[in-house]
């Protein structure tokens, strides 16, 4: 260990355990190609609502059935449905749109337990992504609202990224609706107590960004009333 002139010790910097290949720089072109393909495809889809939830939810689960109903009602209201394209809640969302004549979009990514698209994704709307962050750009940019049903880490990641983008005004304010009071109420209570009251890490009005309901009809009512107040102006959530 060496000592610098200001008497602060100078420590040796760690090095990479293996050589960093120059080809990693070329990854950017793969990223660009995914962005271009996603933008060109989703620009043609029209206004949609993104539905999040667990890939592990089985068809006999009440939340699967709620997701089907929500997607059906969104279709009747004139929206397309975007999901991750896989099984579980994603399949239910695509199913509700597909069976009732709506636009059914799947943004898939290869995972060990989640391969390929569910059969309810429109043939011209089944996009496959290599990179999670590019996929999330597509989820956010083209959704006029977000509906989150019970899920795991992936659902939490998508939910909180969306809430952060709305809170920081990086995207247009859009409805974010949590479905399942039994599942979500404890989380929202923790946010209220730990984040707001005990540590003052959010504003009180941030709690209003995520209403909770158990009713598919209420989900669509919240979305419809939001856009009625906005003059029914629909557009992608941000420009790059």
Four-residue CA torsion sign, 80, 82, 83, 84? positive
Mean pLDDT of the chain: 90
Whether 181 is covered by a domain: the verdict is: yes
User: Which range marks the domain in which residue 94 is found?
Assistant: 29-225
Cα torsion angle, 63, 52, 216, 125, sign: negative
The predicted pLDDT at position 227 comes to: 92
Tokens of 91: 């399949």
Does residue 192 belong to any structural domain of this protein? yes
How many domains does the chain fold into? Answer: 1
* CATH code for the domain in which residue 105 is found: 3.40.50.450
231 located within any domain: no
Q: What is the pLDDT of residue 239?
A: 60
User: CA nearest 213: which of 239, 240, 238, 188?
Assistant: 188
- pLDDT tens-digit map of 66-106: 999 999 999 999 999 999 999 999 999 999 999 999 999 99
SS3 139: helix
> What token pair was written down for 25?
């720089």
pLDDT band at 10 (very low <50, low <70, confident <90, very high): confident
């Amino acid at each position: 260990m060496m000592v610098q002139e200001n008497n602060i010790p100078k420590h040796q910097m760690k090095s990479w355990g293996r050589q960093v290949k120059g080809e990693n720089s070329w990854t950017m072109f793969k990223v660009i190609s995914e962005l271009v393909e996603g933008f060109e495809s989703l620009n043609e889809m029209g206004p949609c609502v993104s539905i999040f939830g667990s890939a592990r939810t089985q068809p006999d689960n009440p939340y699967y059935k709620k997701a089907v109903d929500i997607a059906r009602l969104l279709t009747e209201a004139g929206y397309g449905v975007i999901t991750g394209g896989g099984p579980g809640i994603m399949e239910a969302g695509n199913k509700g749109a597909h069976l009732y004549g709506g636009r059914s979009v799947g943004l898939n990514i290869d995972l060990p337990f989640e391969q390929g698209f569910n059969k309810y994704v429109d043939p011209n709307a089944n996009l496959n992504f290599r990179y999670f962050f590019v996929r999330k750009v597509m989820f956010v940019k083209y959704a006029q609202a977000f509906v989150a049903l019970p899920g795991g880490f992936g659902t939490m990641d998508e939910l909180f990224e969306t809430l952060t983008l709305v809170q920081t005004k990086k995207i247009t304010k859009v409805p974010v609706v949590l479905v399942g009071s039994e599942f979500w109420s404890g989380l929202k209570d923790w946010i209220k107590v730990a984040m707001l009251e005990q540590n003052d890490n959010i504003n009180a009005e941030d709690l209003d960004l995520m209403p909770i309901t158990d009713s598919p009809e209420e989900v669509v009512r919240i979305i419809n009333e939001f856009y009625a107040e906005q003059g029914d102006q629909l557009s992608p959530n941000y420009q790059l």
